Amino acid sequence: MKDDTKLRLDKWLWAARFYKTRSLATEAVEGGKVKLNGQRTKPAHAVKVGDRLDIVIGDYAWQLTVMALSDQRSSAPIAQTLYQEDADSHAKRQAQVNERKQLGQAKPLRAPDKHDRREIVKLKQSW
């Protein structure tokens, strides 16, 4: 973990494993999906311990407090020590996950193959 007092926001998001690449983290920050202390910001903005982050990925939203800084991506258990999620945020996400499971909207078992893609195209064209 890094002992410095500041780190680029996009680098921290990547190290905390919210985004698979730094370029995806950069796009999310530029697109307004990540807010630092309630404000839109730039990917190069410095994040410090104690800052609040609001992150939206797909249908899910996280409200976090930065607990530590790291500029290296490591395993998920170590990455989870970099932040602390608010209890309300965690409860909302768990409720969303449970609701999706009850409605049968869990992840697909596999990606569509060539036949499935053709069926999807036919269906879209018929509308």
pLDDT of 97 reads: 86
pLDDT of 112 reads: 85
Three-state SS for 73?
coil
Write down all domains in the chain, each with its CATH number in brackets: 7-126 (3.10.290.10)
pTM as predicted: 0.76
- Mean pLDDT per 10-residue segment, the chain (127 residues): 76 95 95 94 94 92 94 93 94 89 72 90 90
CA atoms within 13 A on the CB side of 73: 11
Three-state SS for 61?
strand
Three-state SS for 57?
strand
Asked whether the beta carbons of 78 and 67 are under 8 A apart, the reply is no
